[in-house]
Amino acid sequence: MTVTKNETVVLRNYINGEWVEATSTETLEVPNPATGEILARVPISTKKDVDLAVKAASDAFKTWRDTPVPKRARILYKYHYLLTENHEKLAQLIVQENGKSYKEAHGEVQRGLECVEFAAGAPTLMMGETLANIAEDIDSEMFRFPLGVVGGITPFNFPMMVPMWMFPLAIACGNTFVLKPSERTPILANELARLFTEAGAPKGVFNIVHGAHDVVNGLLDHPEVKAISFVGSQPVAKYVYERAAAQGKRVQALSGAKNHHIVMPDADMEKAVANIISSTFGSAGQRCMACSAVIVVGDGDKFVEALKNKADDLIIGNGIDDEVLLTPVIRDSHRQKVLGYIEKGLEEGATLLRDGRVDMQKMQEGNFLGATIFDHVTPEMTIAKDEIFAPVLSLLRANDLDEGLEFIRKSRYGNGATIYTKDARAVRQFRQEADAGMLGINVGVPATMAFFPFSGWKDSFYGDLHVNGKDGVNFFTRKKMITSRFDY
Ligand code: NAD
């Protein structure tokens, strides 16, 4: 890291095992969203920096692809050990740069560790298939090979978990990697690189180039980058998918979301309320699996009242304090956009049941917004359709499960959906008909763990193979078929 005159740290890129200054002098501030304190400055690197990193990764690939798979896995075991030893430090860094609560940050570190656990299974995961006697005296074998240099582009909301969805598995499969972390939460990535090097990752296998769209475009357009793994907002995901795919690259682009929770009349009300509160307002609603729309089936007035009461009790503040649940949004510019959505909800006729702007005015510093709940929202309203990515909840009223499922079908997004009920028939109908890739049955955040694919549908995902699980292994490898004749 470089220290400037006013002592603010300027982050460095990590290329070929060295911490190097970006070629550009342009930087952005990285403030703590809860306090405004400037934690560091992030360089806005250029295409030149991307070229340097891709060259390093490309050179490293020549030996890394032939490094025995168990040897690659052993580096991941060591990495897991080091990440576990640094669990506390990593969680604190997440709280500082992202603003989420300490408990959520610990959970995020844990989710990241699981990705390393999965990737360390590479010797098994990369096994091929064989069939003797596919024809007379002929055998068939399938081997898996890495692709080459992979580019990863990540969002602000999970500075640890999302990069870990990508690089440990890609690298375990024999690829080399260039990561472009979010410029809004770039600090943790450097810590991930430092620990990976300590674990024994050879030079050039993992590289980081900080910056914004120029770095993204540099990766998308570079002929040596064979695959792109992207996570972020819908317009950017679509753009990344189209631009990289047009150049023949393999792409997985995880996108925005609008996650519906259906509350059936027989639901355990107390548990449903607790789950919805935590799913909607945890991490200030800035999770791609956050609940942002609740479909209340039947006469749900008691449920709505209980939900509002619970929202009134939420403690708002700096995530470093244990009792806090409602933390700030990432930037004031994002908060201003959200305030626009609140106005839009009122204009379009929704009932503002709880106005989080009141709590906001009480806060001295930070990008806080109180829990905001709209009732009697209809699927056509902007607040029902758009991803707001903030502590703003829409309540939609439905007569029955069929109507509730229809609301879900109408959404352009299909990341997650949950039902709260004890009725087995309702559960089955929900499982069969809910138009989303990750479903929860009485679960508030049905995010899959590293061992299964993270399976968004519709505009929540562009590509074919999802991150994690066997999809992840297929994404980061290509198959080679050998057909052998033995009757010569
Ligand atoms: P974002 O789209 O603003 O940024 C994501 C990445 O794209 C960043 O690295 C950023 O630098 C880059 N980027 C931004 N604008 C760009 C442009 N015009 N051209 C090229 N690159 C650009 O997303 P964010 O605000 O950081 O993250 C929140 C979003 O990510 C939400 O929409 C959320 O739903 C989504 N997300 C989705 C998942 C999922 O699994 N589907 C997981 C986490 C986050």
Beta bridge partners of 440: 418
Quick: pLDDT tens for 61-116.
999 999 999 999 999 999 999 999 999 999 999 999 999 999 999 999 999 999 99
Mean pLDDT of the 222-226 span: 98
Cα(387)–Cα(412) distance, rounded to whole angstroms?
Answer: 10
Q: For residue 236, what are its two tokens?
A: 């950017």
Half-sphere exposure of 92 toward its Cβ, with a 13 Å CA cutoff?
A: 5
Q: Ligand 1 centre and the CA of 155: distance in Å?
A: 4
Evaluate whether 227 touches 476 at the Cβ level (below 8 Å). Answer: yes
In this prediction, what percent of the chain has a pLDDT beyond 90? 98
> Is the model's pLDDT at 1 over the cut of 50?
no
**331 CA to middle of ligand 1, Å?**
14
Q: Find, among 430, 449, 448, 424, the residue nearest to 260 by Cα.
A: 430
Average predicted confidence (pLDDT) for the chain: 97
Active site residues per annotation: 288
pLDDT the model gives residue 8 = 84
Q: How many residues does the chain have?
A: 488
* Pocket of ligand 1, beta carbon within 6 A: 153-158, 162, 180, 182-183, 212-213, 216, 231-233, 236, 254-257, 288, 387, 389, 415, 454, 456, 460
Predicted confidence at residue 339, as pLDDT, reads 98
What would the pLDDT profile of 24-49 be if each residue is shown by its tens digit? Answer: 999 999 999 999 999 999 999 999 99
Q: What is the band of 2 on the pLDDT scale with cuts at 50, 70, 90?
A: very low
Question: pLDDT tens digits, residue range 326-375?
Answer: 999 999 999 999 999 999 999 999 999 999 999 999 999 999 999 999 99
Over residues 460-485, the pLDDT tens digits come to: 999 999 999 999 999 999 999 999 99
CA-nearest residue, atom 9 of ligand 1: 182
Alpha helix ranges (H) inside 86-121: 87-98, 102-119
Looking at residue 5, its pLDDT comes to: 42
Pocket test for ligand 1, best of 178, 236, 254, 341 (most atoms within 8 A of CB): 236
Residue 314 pLDDT > 80: yes
Interatomic CA distance for residues 46 and 215, integer angstroms: 6
Give me the pLDDT at residue 7, please.
63
- Choosing from 97, 214, 215, 231 the residue with most ligand 1 atoms within 8 A of its CB, the one to mutate for a pocket test is 231
Beta pairing partners, 373: 354, 393
String of b and e for 277-291 (b: at least 16 CB within 10 Å)?
bbbbbbbbbbbbbbb
Give the tens place of pLDDT for each residue, 378-432. Answer: 999 999 999 999 999 999 999 999 999 999 999 999 999 999 999 999 999 999 9
Q: What's the confidence (pLDDT) of residue 4?
A: 46
Question: Which among 261, 266, 259, 258 has a CA at the least distance from the CA of 426?
Answer: 266
pLDDT digits (tens, 9 = 90+) for 137-166: 999 999 999 999 999 999 999 999 999 999
What is the distance in A from the centroid of ligand 1 to the CA of 233? 4
pLDDT of residue 152: 99
Average pLDDT estimate for 236-255: 98
Q: What is the ipTM of this complex?
A: 0.99
* Helix ranges (DSSP H) in 348-387: 356-362, 382-385
pLDDT at 3: 40
**Residue 425 CB burial class (10 angstroms; 0-12, 13-18, ≥19):** exposed
Contact assessment for residue 177 and residue 167, using Cβ atoms and an 8 Å cutoff = yes
User: For position 487, what pLDDT does the model report?
Assistant: 84
Residue type, 8: T
| Confidence (pLDDT) at 193 | 98
